[in-house]
């Protein structure tokens, strides 16, 4: 199944499909594997949640990102290994403990996980709901 997921991520990266379609395909692959095992996992409901990133700037430079959790986990693992292999990006990812983030997802971390407010009114929020 990992090979199929890598193919889907490659299609997303190349712009052949969008992230929502990629997420849908990955979910179908997982369901196919789970159906073969005859069991559904407890985390299925959690994987339907969304990681929401909100940046509100005092200068109206606002950012809104919504990512399905089921896609976040796969992209984190692939993206981290890709970034770690690029010399210019290595310094940015060398101190990121990707396993800690994956563990948080697997342990169904929920709610607001980041809340930053600057003195000039900028805010950053990361929420799983």
pLDDT tens for each residue of 89-109: 877 777 777 777 777 777 777
Reduced to 3 states (helix: H, G, I; strand: E, B; else coil), residue 61 is coil
Q: What is the phi/psi pair of residue 36, to 5°?
A: -65, -30
Is the model's pLDDT at 42 over the cut of 60?
no
0.75 exceeded by pTM: no
Q: What is the DSSP letter of 95?
A: T
What is the torsional sign of CA 27, 29, 33, 35? positive
Q: Using the predicted structure, report yes or no on whether residue 35 has a pLDDT greater than 80.
A: no
Distance CA 93, CA 59 (A): 29
Mean pLDDT to the nearest integer, 22-46: 69
- Mean pLDDT over each residue of the chain, to the nearest integer: 80
Strand partners, 123: 56, 117
């Amino acid at each position: 199944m990992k090979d199929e997921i890598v193919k889907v991520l490659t299609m997303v990266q190349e712009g052949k499909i969008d992230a929502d379609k990629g997420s849908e395909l990955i979910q179908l692959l997982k369901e196919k594997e789970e159906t073969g095992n005859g069991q559904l996992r407890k985390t299925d409901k959690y994987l339907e949640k969304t990681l929401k990133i909100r940046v509100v700037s005092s200068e109206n430079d606002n950012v809104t990102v919504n990512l399905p959790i089921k896609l976040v986990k796969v992209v984190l693992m692939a993206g981290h290994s890709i970034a770690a292999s690029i010399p210019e990006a290595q310094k940015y990812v060398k101190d990121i403990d990707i396993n800690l983030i994956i563990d948080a997802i697997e342990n169904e971390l929920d709610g607001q996980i980041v809340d930053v407010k600057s003195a000039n009114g900028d805010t950053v929020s990361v929420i799983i709901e």
